[in-house]
Amino acid sequence: MYAQGWVMEGIPGTRELARALQEKGIIPRHVVVLYAADTVLIERNLGKRVDIYTGEVYHTTFDWPSDEAVQKHLKAPEGISEVETTRRLLEYHRNFPGILQSFEKPMKLINADQPCADVFSQVLSHVQAPPRTPAPFSPRILLCGPPGCGKSLQAALLSQKYGIINVCCGQLLKEAVANETKLGELIKPSLDDGWPVADNVVIKVLLDRLNRLDCHLRGWVLHGFPRDEDQARLMRNVGIVPNRVFVLNLTMESILERLTYRAVDPVTGERYHTLYKPAPSKKAHKRLLTNPKDLEEHVRTKVEMYFRLSSGTEELFEDAVSINADQDPQTVFEYIESYIVNPLPTDPTWKPRKQCTC
């Protein structure tokens, strides 16, 4: 099927089903939506007739058979009354916005209220056109750095602007557990006990995600892995080779400032920060709760462990670019973007600029 391609018709009918298909790696390269006015659709549906012997579909207005014998075998299919058709159209209109959000970028809208040959011609032209992406090449981006350096935010910004698949390693592990996969059964005890998941299990989950069609077509930005030199070597050994690597540098003092002042309002679920985003009222401020993981002792231990384990990781990525993450997130994004948009040089004597601190 993957060698010849496939055509899927009539599904998904809801956003939930669309997301379920995507989670299973069923990612269409082209999505075509045929639309017409409800009055036209109702007229088409009410005129349908089916040959009870051959299953051939005819229409009382547009495709009526000339053979009187065939006409006698025609029967109106069930569920095409005006009331039933209207109900199905209302359900479709209610679900369509969610489906549109799931397949917004590769979607093509085509007016179906025209001759079939014209509709087919437009569909064929869309399918034959190569997929387009605003990214300058197929990105395989790796973001490294200590906790609190902004990897998740930068990955989200890259994904939003260029349509790159945002791959958070920690989130993948949680999804594997939630979906009750075989690997998820191996991961769950470690997550429950707060222990690191075995590298060989993590790499299998990561490979499964990066090998899906959407990652091949649109590229990916990975963060949360590798955390040490051994993981970096393992990633390279299994063929996960990024073509852009960024290290977001941040001092211990700045990390503590970013993480230990965070809090959540248990009533609204809104997140606040004592310095950058204080609660709007004293009442809201009093009920704020701090995650135990954001306590200074825990953060300091976690960061020190990161610096200790990742000391040799950067050396494995010779073209890695170090960026000062202690500045406005949009400024950091612009520096990252500048290295992504500019093509890699072909001069073998060229060496990348290792530090970007402006």
CA distance 25 to 296: 40
Last residue of a domain, one of 94, 128, 162: 128
Shared domain for 182 and 322, answered yes or no, is: yes
84 in the same domain as 202: no
CA distance readout (Å), 167 to 154, 171, 220, 282: 12, 8, 7, 38
**Which residues lie closer than 8 Å to 171 by C-beta, 6 or more apart?**
224
Is residue 36 included in any domain, yes or no? yes
* Same domain, residue pair 117 and 193: no
Q: Is 144 left (phi over 0), alpha (psi -120 to 50) or beta?
A: beta
**Per-residue model confidence (pLDDT) at position 167:** 94
At residue 251, the pLDDT reads 92
Average pLDDT for 280-285: 89
pLDDT category at 264 given cuts 50, 70, 90 is very high
Rounded CA separation 70/60 (Å): 13
Q: Which domain holds residue 166?
A: 140-260+295-356
The domain tally of the chain equals: 2
| ω into 65 cis (within 30 of 0) | no
- Average of per-residue pLDDT across 250-276: 90
114 in the same domain as 222: no
Per-residue model confidence (pLDDT) at position 347: 43
- What is the tens place of the pLDDT at every residue in 304-316? 988 888 877 777 8
| Residue 256 is assigned to a structural domain of this protein | yes
Q: What integer pLDDT is reported at residue 296 of this predicted model? A: 92
Inside any domain, residue 277: no
CATH of the domain at 234: 3.40.50.300
User: Where among 107, 128, 149 does a domain terminate?
Assistant: 128
Based on the fold, state whether residues 190 and 330 are members of the same structural domain: yes
Asked if residue 254 lies in contact with residue 299, where contact means CB atoms within 8 angstroms, the answer is no
Q: Average pLDDT, stretch 116-123? A: 86
Q: Is the pLDDT of residue 136 over 90?
A: no
Threshold 0.85, pTM exceeds = no
Tokens of 113: 């209220």
Query: 321 pairs with which residues across the strands?
Result: 246
Give the phi and the psi of residue 280 in degrees, each rounded to 5.
-70, -15
Q: Has residue 247 got a pLDDT over 90?
A: yes
Q: Give yes or no: residues 335 and 186 share one domain.
A: yes
Measured over the CA atoms of residue 71, residue 75, residue 81 and residue 84, the dihedral's sign is negative
Average pLDDT over residues 101-111: 74
Whether 124 and 151 map to the same domain: the answer is no
Tally of residues, the chain: 358
Question: Is 173 in contact with 205 (CB distance < 8 Å)?
Answer: yes
Q: Are residues 252 and 179 in the same domain?
A: yes
Within-domain flag for 268: no
Quick one: pLDDT band at residue 352, thresholds 50, 70, 90? very low
* Pick from 99, 98, 165: nearest CA to 133: 165
Tens-place pLDDT, residues 205-238: 999 899 888 888 888 999 999 988 889 999 988 8
Q: Are residues 245 and 333 in the same domain?
A: yes
124 and 174, same structural domain? no
